[in-house]
Chains A and B, each alone.
Chain A
Amino acid sequence: MIAIEDLWYTYPGRNEPTLKGIDLTIQKDEFVLITGPTGCGKSTLLKTLNGIIPHESAGEMKGNVHINGMSTRDSGMAQLGQLTGLVFQNPDDQIFSTIVEDEIAFGPENLCLQKSEIDRRVRESLRMVGMSDHRFAQTTALSGGQKQRICIASMLAMLPQVMALDEPISQMDPKGASEVMQTIRDLNRKLGLTIVLVEHRVHEIAHLVDRIIVMDCGKIVLDEPAETAFEHIEVFRSLGLRVPETVELFHKMDFESYPLRVEESIKILRGQMEKQNNISASSLTTSQYGFYTSNDISNDGGSFLGECNTGNPVISIRDVWFGYEKDKTVLKGIDLDIHKGGRVALMGANGSGKSTLLHHLSAMLKPGRGDVEVFGYNTRSKDSYSFASKVGLVFQNPDLMLFCDSVEEEVRFAPSNLGYGDIGQKTANSMRSMAILDLQHDLPQALSRGQRLRVAVASILSMQPQLILLDEPTTGQDKMHIEQMMDYFTGDGTTLVFCTHDIETAMRYATRIIVMSDGVVIADGNGREIFSDTEILDRTSLKQPPVMQIARSLGFCAFSVDELAEGLGKLI
C-alpha cells in the first residue's frame, strides 16, 4: 500500500535534513504506530503520505513515496487527498463547520459528487465512527473525543485507502482517547483500512497496533511487529519513550516475552503463580501475603494527610453553588478545606465542574451561593484581581498567557506591574526554576510547546504566589515537560491545586486527590485510596492503570510496577 524509498527531506531555511533516507513498506490492512521523541521527523514523514510534502511545501525532497502504486510526486494533491486521509492532534483546529453534517459533506462536495452519493457517504462515515445520532449537532457542542471522531469521519467520507493520524489522542481525556482509539481500531479491523498512527503515548496504545516503528533524528531505528517490539526495550528507554506498564512489569520480573494486554498479563502471571505455589491464585487474599494491605495504605495516607492537612486552611470553601446559566448548576454544594503546602489534584470527567471550582479559587468566579475564602479573605468581598499577587493561575492553554516580546520580559511583566522590588532577581529565579534562562531573549510564542508551558509557569512564579492553580496542564503536553514542571513544585512547598485527567501525574505528584462528578465531590483522599475504589472510578471516566488492574485481579494491592514486581517477585 505504501512504499517509501530512500526518502530525504529538508525544510526550507534549515541545513540539516529532517528525514534522512527513510525506507519503509506498509501493507494493506496494517495498523502501524510510528513513534519517537519530539523532532524525530515522525510528523514530517506523515506529511509525505498525503502529498503536502512536496506539493505544499517549499522544502527539498529526495526519494520516492508511492501510495497504492501512485507516486506522490507525480500526482496532484486532490488525488492524493482522496487516497490518504489526515487527522491531527487538536480536533478544534480541523473542524471548520458549525454543523457536523457540513463537515462530513465538505470533502465529497469538493469532489463534485451527486447529492445522493454525498448523503450516502455522510451517513456511512458517521455510522462507522458511531456518531450517527449527531449528524445535525453543533460541532461546538461535542466533546473532544466526539470531535476527533468527526474529523476521522470527514476523512472517511473521502473513501481513503490509508488513514494517517498525527497524535490524535494527545489532547483527549481518558474517555475521549479510548473512544477514538477504539474507532480507529474498528476501522482497521472491519474496513481493512491501512492505519499509520503517530503517537508518543506508546504505552497506552501499543496493544492495539500491528507494528511499531521508532524514529530518531530522521531515521528509523526500530521496525518490529508490536508483539516483539518491546524486546528492544532499551531503544524506547534511551529515547525517553514510555513502554506499557505490562512490559515494564514483565521486564522487571525478567520474563522473556512481554504481553501488551492486561488480561494476557494476568493469565500469564496467574499461571506462573499456580505453577510456583500450586494453589489457585484466585483464592489468594491480600492478608495472606500481607503486601501493602489496604490498612497499611490508609494508615500511611492518614499520617501523610495529617502532616499536610492541619492548621489553618489556605482555602476554605463552604457550601458553594454555582451555575453559568440560571437552570444549569455546575457546582452543587461544595465543602472543602485546602491546607498550606498541599498538592491537590482535581479529577473527574469533562463537565464535572473541576475547572469551575478552580476558577473559584482564583476569585475569577464568585459563588452563586456559599462562600470561598482564600487566605482568610472572602472572594466576594474583594475585586477578583486583588488576589492576583497571591494566587497564580496557569490556564489550560498556556499560549494565551504569552504576549511579550521576550521570555525575560514575559516573566518580568507581572512583578513590575505589581510594583515589586528586586524584580531582576525574581525574574532570574523564576526562569532558572523552569530551566528557560537560555531562552530569555527569544520570543515566547516562537518556542516549542513544552517551552511555552514553562515560560507561562515562570511568568506566574515571578509573582511569588502562595497558591498555584494549574488548569489541565497535562493536556497536549509531552510527559517529559509535565514531569519537569511538577518536579519543581514538589520541591517548592507552595500550595498547588491542579486539574488533570492524567492518573499517573495525579498519583505521582498529588498529596490529595479530589474526584468530582456532576458538580459534587465524590471522593477525597490520597491516590491509593481513590484508585483502589473501582466504584468511584466507574462513576467518572477514570480507569485504573494496568498495574493496579493486574494487582487487583491477582488479589494484590499495588500501585506501581515496582511495588507489584516486588510483591510478585516473592511469589514467583
Chain B
Amino acid sequence: MISARSIAEPTIRDTVIHRLDPRAKIIMLIATSFIIVALDNPQTMLLLFLVVLSGFVPARMPMIKMKTLLVLLVLVMWGTMYSQALFYSQLPRTVIFTIIPPDAPFLGWLTHGGLFVYKEGFYYGAVQALRSATVLSMGLLMCWTTDPRDMLNGLARLKVPYSIAFMVVTAVRFLPIIIAEVATVITVQRLKGFKPTKMGPGMIKTALGVLTPTLANCVRRASVLAVSIESRAFRAHRTRTYLKELQYSRFDMILIVAAVSLTISIVSAKLLFNLYTSEIYYSSELRGIYSLARGYL
C-alpha cells in the first residue's frame, strides 16, 4: 500500500544524485519546469521526460518508491488524458463515446451541446501530460534524494527569507504528528458512531469536527514553541550563521550552468518562434531559430 509516508519521506543514500547540492537540485527543477512549459514537440518532451526518469537509476531508489512513482505517473497521465479526451477542441476529432447527448435535458444545455469522448483527445492528453509527469518526476526525484532540512537550507540560501524557511521546517517536523492527530480524530468520530466519510452535508460536520481539535492543539503548541525558540534568540539578530555550510561542487556548477543556459536558450527560441507564428514579430535573420523551434521544440 502506498501511504503518505512513501511519498513524503526521502530515502537517504550516498549516490551521485544524493550528493548534489540542494540548490543545484532546486535550480534544475525550476529549469525543467520552464523548459517543459516551453516545449511543444512531443518527441522532445518525451526525451526530456525520459532523461528525468533515468535520474532514478543512479539514485538507486527502493522498489516502493518506484511503485509510488509509477502509480502517481499513471494517475497524472490518465487524469490529463481523460480530461483532454472530453475537452479536446481541435479538428480532426472522432467521437468514440457520448457521455451527455446534446439533447439531454439540462445537462445538454449546461454543456453547450453535449459531452463526448474524442479519440484524438486521448492522444493529445497523453502528450500534454508529459509536462505534468516530467515536473512531478523531477520533483519527486529531488525530494526523495534530499533531506527536507537540506532542501530548506538550500531554499534559505536561495534568498527565501529565513523566517519563512523556518516556518516550513517546523511545518515539516509537525506533519507526521498532525497527520496522526487527524487520523485519531476521524477514528474517534467513527467510534462514536459518526460516519465521517459519508458524502453530503455531513462532510462539513466532519471537517469542523476534524479541524477543531487539530487546530486547537496547533494553537496551544504554537505558544509553547514560540517561547521555546524565542528563548533561543530566534529573530534576535537580523542575520544568522549556519552550522552546515553548503558548498557547490564542480559537478554542481556544471549542471547549474548547463541547466540555466539550456533553459534560457530554449525559452527564448520558443518565445521568438511564437511571436513569429502569432504574426507579431518577424526577422529574416531568425529563420534558423524558427526552423529549429518548428522542428525540435
Contact = CB atoms under 8 A, between A and B. Distances in A.
Contacts of A223: none
Interface stretch (A193-201, A245-253, A284-292, A410-418): A410-418
Contact of A403 (B172, B213, B226, B229): B213
Given A110-B236, A139-B173, A417 B242 contact: no
Contacts of B230: 52, 56, 77, 81
A106 B232 contact: yes
B241 A115 contact: yes
Nearest to B184: A400
A388 B224 contact: no
Nearest to A387: B191
A92 B178 CA distance: 12
B173 A400 contact: no
Interface in A66-108: 76-78, 80-82, 84-86, 88-90, 92-99, 101-102, 105-108
A225 B221 CA distance: 35
B198 to A, nearest CB: 11
Given A96-B225, A99-B149, A110-B240, A400 B185 contact: yes
A118 interface: yes
Nearest to B235: A110
A81 B232 contact: yes
A97 B169 contact: yes
Nearest to A107: B232
- For B173, B192, B231, B244, which residue has the most chain A Cβ atoms within 10 angstroms? B231
Nearest to B224: A93
B252 interface: no
A113 B241 contact: yes
B91 interface: no
Interface in B212-246: 212-214, 216-217, 220-221, 224-237, 239-245
Interface in B238-293: 239-245
A352 interface: no
A109 B241 contact: yes
A558 interface: no
B220 to A, nearest CB: 8
Contacts of A384: 190
Nearest to A383: B190
B177 interface: yes
B172 to A, nearest CB: 6
B232 A400 contact: no
Interface residues of A, number: 72
A47 B227 CA distance: 9
A96 B173 contact: yes
A119 interface: yes
Interface stretch (A179-187, A373-381, A389-397, A549-557): A389-397
Contacts of B221: 92-93
A389 B193 contact: yes
- For A96, A105, A384, A413, which residue has the most chain B Cβ atoms within 10 angstroms? A96
B180 to A, nearest CB: 9
Contacts of B189: 403
A120 to B, nearest CB: 11
Contacts of A157: 232
B136 interface: no
A463 interface: yes
Interface residues of B, number: 53
A417 B166 CA distance: 42
Contacts of B208: 403
Contact of B192 (A81, A400, A413): A413
B98 interface: no
A110 B232 contact: yes
Contact of A151 (B172, B190, B191, B228): B228
B15 interface: no
Given A110-B234, A459-B192, A105 B243 contact: yes
A151 B237 CA distance: 22
B154 interface: no
A24 interface: no
Interface string B150-188: 000000000000000010011011101100010011011
A98 B243 contact: no
A400 B231 contact: no
B207 to A, nearest CB: 10
A400 B244 CA distance: 37
Contact of B149 (A93, A98, A399): A98
Contact of A400 (B147, B188, B225, B236): B188
A81 B236 contact: yes
Contacts of A399: 213, 216-217
A148 interface: no
Contacts of A146: none
A364 B216 CA distance: 25
B114 interface: no
Contacts of B209: 403-404
A85 B230 CA distance: 10
A97 B149 contact: yes
B125 interface: no
A119 B255 CA distance: 31
A154 interface: yes
B115 interface: no
Nearest to A459: B192
A384 B195 CA distance: 12
A427 B34 CA distance: 60
Contacts of A122: 243
A362 interface: yes
A95 B189 CA distance: 29
B210 interface: yes
Contact of A417 (B192, B216, B235): B192
A98 to B, nearest CB: 5
8 contacts: A109-B241, A119-B243, A140-B176, A384-B190, A399-B217, A403-B213, A404-B209, A418-B192
Interface of A: 47, 50, 52, 56, 76-78, 80-82, 84-86, 88-90, 92-99, 101-102, 105-115, 118-119, 122, 139-140, 151, 154-155, 157-158, 362, 364, 384-385, 388-389, 391-393, 395, 397, 399-404, 413-414, 417-419, 445, 459, 463
In the A-B complex, the 8 residue pairs with the smallest Cβ-Cβ separation, listed nearest first, are A78-B236, A107-B232, A417-B193, A414-B192, A403-B209, A418-B193, A110-B233, A105-B243
Given A122-B243, A364-B187, A388-B193, 7 more contacts: A77-B236, A81-B233, A93-B224, A399-B217, A413-B192, A417-B192, A463-B192
